Amino acid sequence: MKEDKKFHIQTMGCQMNERDSETLAGMLTGLGYSKTENRQEADVAIINTCSVRDNADKRFFGTLGQLKKIKEQRPDFVVCVCGCMMQQQHIIDRIKEKYPWVDIIFGTHNIHEFPQLLRSVTEEKRKIVDVWDEAGEIIEGMPSKRLYKFKAFVNIMYGCNNFCTYCIVPYTRGRERSRHPGDIMKEVRDLVADGVREVTLLGQNVNSYRGMSEKGPTDFADLIYMLQEVEGLERIRFMTSHPKDLSDKLIQAYRDCSKLCRNIHLPVQSGSDDVLKRMNRRYDRAKYLELVNKLRAAVPEISISTDIIVGFPGETEQDFEDTLSLVNEVGYDSAFTFLYSVRKGTPAAEYEDQVPEEVKHRRFNRLVDAVNTHSAEKNAAMAGRTERILVEGPSRHNKKTMTGRTDGFKVVDFEGDSSLAGTFCNVEITQGKTFSLVGRLVP
């Protein structure tokens, strides 16, 4: 066998997948492979897929098509596909029929089996489909190769019980399972010992975290208070927070815990009560706005971002106007906007009153304009302030510029040396743009 074996991983979708890819990279490193950014020279290629919207599906099949050429030139090239799409039988059927040269298909619940699956393929030249319908026990202590040295994702729970009617995630990630608080604390302490200064706690709905420690039940806010005490850890973030479960205790934690960043991603999805009901979100507009007010009363400088879906089945012009007015009322720092996408197997896919594409697009454009106006205003208002940022490294657009993030999760570009990566710096904001800030290093 070759000495310098290489792997390539392409990750689609959310932070859950990014975290899973770090685990896969960790396992491959343990098997003696090294990472490459060039798939052409890889011995093993993995595509970690997302099924949240149709364009993610399309992108996956496009990429898979391209891999066929490499496979034809080098039959030993191992092609693996995993992630959320593989939890859907119709996708597996399509791969088997149209892309039979794929070597390994595995799912979101059996990542830990990957080294065994790979061995079977490389040693026995088999094709493998191994997808579990349900999650087993949470497996602790898996290896990981992090994307950044100084910041890390930490899963606190897996799965989702909410069944929003448009969403595929509960079907691809299974039911909610919370990790033991002790395991989370150990992981964070180990990360800090390894140079990590910022952790992002991950879960589809972190507010429904339910752990059990020696002291009794531990909820999400308890976990924040526990992490506040970890010496050497400087920043705590989390994703994602469901409005229906956001507690007063968590809002209080923002006041008590200096390490908890003044930022929240609080997906609203729609500003219309009627649409929210049919989405099965289990809060209404008034409740959502009340949360925003409470958060701002407790932490005036908090930055708030959201997710919004346009064109959910049955969305009327008035429903859409309600979303626009909510966006204007809240004045988000930023928002991810999505065109509703039919997901096979979800209740909303069966709804008959689907919104025509051109109507969806028209509304989408109006929404994006409103969202961007607020982002630009919020960012412009930051000019003149001095912000503490965690420097991430050279900017993607301009290698001479460094980029970092404020406590409020805003991107700041500034002139600085690449040796600053991974450190905290004070930067005076000189300009606020729509999607980022420009600053000047304060000595």
- Residue placing its CB nearer to ligand SF4 in the complex, 169 or 367: 169
Cα–Cα dist 218/226, whole Å: 10
Which of residues 167, 202, 223, 335 is near ligand SF4 by CB under 6 A? Answer: 167
**16 touches ligand F3S (CB under 6 A):** yes
Give residue 60's identity as a one-letter amino acid code: F
Strand partners, 123: none
If 0-12 CB within 10 Å is exposed, 13-18 middle and 19+ buried, where does residue 260 land? buried
Question: Quick check: bond before 423 cis, omega within 30?
Answer: no
Angle between helices 181-193 and 220-228 (to 10 degrees): 30
User: What are the two backbone dihedrals, phi and then psi, of residue 108, each rounded to the nearest 5 degrees?
Assistant: -80, -15
Query: Binders of ligand SF4: how many residues, by CB under 6 A?
Result: 10
Q: Which runs of consecutive H residues, i.e. helices, occur in 89-156?
A: 89-98, 114-124
Q: Which does 84 bind (CB under 5 to 8 A by kind): ligand F3S, ligand SAH, ligand SF4, none?
A: ligand F3S
Segment 44-103, which members bind ligand SAH (CB under 6 A)? Answer: 52-53
SS3 311: coil
CB 52 within 8 Å of CB 84: yes
Distances in Å between the Cα of 59 and the Cα atoms of 10, 12, 47, 66 are 11, 9, 11, 11
**173 touches ligand F3S (CB under 6 A):** yes
**156 touches ligand SF4 (CB under 6 A):** no
- Residue placing its CB nearer to ligand F3S in the complex, 48 or 403: 48
- Residue placing its CB nearer to ligand SAH in the complex, 7 or 364: 364
Angle between helices 248-256 and 220-228 (to 10 degrees): 10
Give residue 13's identity as a one-letter amino acid code: G
**Which tokens belong to 111?**
């990542």
Taking the complex as a whole, the smallest distance from the CB of residue 156 to ligand SF4 amounts, in Å, to 15
The contact pattern for ligand SF4, residues 201-220, with x = CB under 6 A and - = no contact, is ---xx---------------
**343 touches ligand SAH (CB under 6 A):** yes
Which of residues 237, 242, 259, 360 is near ligand SF4 by CB under 6 A? Answer: 242
Segment 282-311, which members bind ligand SF4 (CB under 6 A)? Answer: none
**118 touches ligand F3S (CB under 6 A):** no
- Residue placing its CB nearer to ligand SAH in the complex, 36 or 205: 205
Cα–Cα dist 262/236, whole Å: 10
**270 touches ligand SF4 (CB under 6 A):** no
Taking the complex as a whole, the smallest distance from the CB of residue 139 to ligand F3S amounts, in Å, to 18
Place of tokens 């969403």: 167
Query: Binders of ligand F3S: how many residues, by CB under 6 A?
Result: 13
**245 touches ligand SAH (CB under 6 A):** no
Which of residues 14, 147, 192, 411 is near ligand F3S by CB under 6 A? Answer: 14
- Residue placing its CB nearer to ligand SF4 in the complex, 163 or 435: 163
Q: Which does 163 bind (CB under 5 to 8 A by kind): ligand SF4, ligand F3S, ligand SAH, none?
A: ligand SF4
**156 touches ligand F3S (CB under 6 A):** no
CB 223 within 8 Å of CB 183: no
Cα–Cα dist 237/263, whole Å: 8
**163 touches ligand SF4 (CB under 6 A):** yes
Segment 271-310, which members bind ligand SAH (CB under 6 A)? Answer: 307, 309
CB 393 within 8 Å of CB 418: yes
**135 touches ligand F3S (CB under 6 A):** no
Distances in Å between the Cα of 436 and the Cα atoms of 199, 395, 424 are 22, 12, 18
Cα–Cα dist 242/339, whole Å: 20
CB count in 10 Å sphere of residue 120: 16
Chain residues in the site for ligand F3S (CB under 6 A): 13-14, 16-17, 50-52, 83-84, 168-169, 172-173
Q: Which residues bind ligand SF4 (CB under 6 A)?
A: 160, 162-164, 167, 169-170, 204-205, 242
Q: List residues near ligand SAH by CB under 6 A.
A: 52-53, 166-167, 169, 204-205, 240, 242, 267, 269, 307, 309, 338, 340-341, 343
